[in-house]
Structure 1
């Protein structure tokens, strides 16, 4: 099994604040890697640093063996990396359709979208088909989250970075997301997923990295962490079993 993404000794400063303190992280290709940790541990900063929204320094980030830490965000995206931020990152004044077209690098207009893939997305998130021509800003919070995820998967990606996708979603939609991510994994899409929904973490995760105070303090198999309540309590201050 090869590693699609590696972080080696990555530090990130935001203004006067030193957020990441030498992060080492390995993301195996074709797997779902969970990035867990208490609030403020540095999980979101790690995703934003991978995408070039924050500059790593010092440290090295490699995607398929090539360094990307000095690249601009659009150049990182061009390599097949998508990012679903916690803030969702949709364009509220544009329609659902227009949001999807903007996310599709190979489509200059709606008619150029991959119809088979679009039908698959509509199967996962029927509300997007229903509100296809509505301004995205008029969607509910859960529907906006669906659109954010749909934008990331409108075309095949090699790696998707996702920050708490289940936040604010009804349990039935969370199950749809789990199904969608499993299908993506079956298509050899690699996913790095920050998530506070431990049911989703346990259902999806192949490997896990746990962060604390800007560092990765544990990595291993998600199944092993899910079964070890003592380790959960030590690393996360809670039990996954209590959140099943």
Structure 2
């Protein structure tokens, strides 16, 4: 696969949930080694797009390719675990942590190659602790008793405890205090420096501005704008047309 080829591509993807037709022919490319922001008003189809990529809601039509290989679309029946094993990690909006398990146990479950915590790559674990120091402090603490920000840190840490080629992250800053959001921005910037590819759904436009290389804007189940994040940041009229607000007003 060419280094210049997108790591992920959606072509004409349609998704139905029950009787509802949610995605109406989504076309989206995610360049390798970049952070692609997926923006749009509530209900535009952003979360459905991430869940469709992971096979949680199957695409009825169209095609999804990852690293040049089909993983979803018409006639493709890969399961969500199969898709994950190809090198995609998903951080859902609800974080999906196991509240009755400790921080250590949550990370061990995500480290598929490890049978005990001692099997987790020490250097990688220390790197995660450098990003999220609270996880070292609460290593043996039940995850359900962590603060909202600490739970989000754990959710992201689980996604990166093993190297992944692509991270899908759904609204990581939702409901978090500004100081925690800044910590999260710093951690995701560090991930960018490792050339990890990220597709990030986010309503916090300060985070979008700080992290995004490219951007796709969704409306009514379709991608209606694609381009450089910097260009959207500079074009207030375009922000209003696509999102109904200006990024400047949100930090």
Q: TM-score when scaled to structure 1? A: 0.98
Q: Does 1:3 align with 2:9?
A: no
Runs of 4+ in 1 over 4 A off after TM superposition: none
Instruction: Give, in whole Å, the separation in 2 of the partners of 1:179 and 1:109.
Output: 29
Of the three residues 21, 29, 32, the one matched with 1:29 is 32
Q: CA deviation at 1:176?
A: 2.1
1:174 to 181, 184, 189: 181
CA deviation string 1:121-179 (max 9, x = no partner): 11221111111111111111111111101101111110000001111222222222222
2:229 aligns to what? Answer: 222
- The answer to whether the aligner puts 1:62 opposite 2:65 as a matched pair is yes
Aligned residue number for residue 204 of structure 2: 197
Q: Pick one of 151, 167, 173 that aligns with 1:144.
A: 151
Matched, 1:42 2:45: yes
The number of aligned residues is 244
Which residue in 2 is equivalent to 1:20? Answer: 23
Partner of 1:134: 141
Unaligned 5+ residue runs, structure 2?
A: none
Return the offset for 1:20. 0.3
Distance 2:133 2:191 in 1: 18
What is the alpha-carbon distance in structure 2 between the residues aligned to residue 239 and residue 134 of structure 1? 41
- Is residue 239 of structure 1 aligned with residue 242 of structure 2? no
How does the TM-score come out when normalised to structure 2? Answer: 0.95
Secondary structure of the residue aligned to 2:61 is coil
Question: Aligned to 2:97, what secondary structure does the other structure show?
Answer: coil
Structure 1, unpaired ranges of 5+: none
1:107 maps to 2:114 = yes
2:105 is aligned with 1:94 = no
Deviates more, 1:224-233 or 1:127-136: 127-136
* Cα distance in structure 1, aligned partners of 2:215 and 2:186: 19
2:53 and 2:206 mapped to 1: Cα distance? 26
Cα-to-partner distance string for 1:65-111 (whole Å, 9 max, x where unaligned): 10001210000000110000000011111111000000111111111
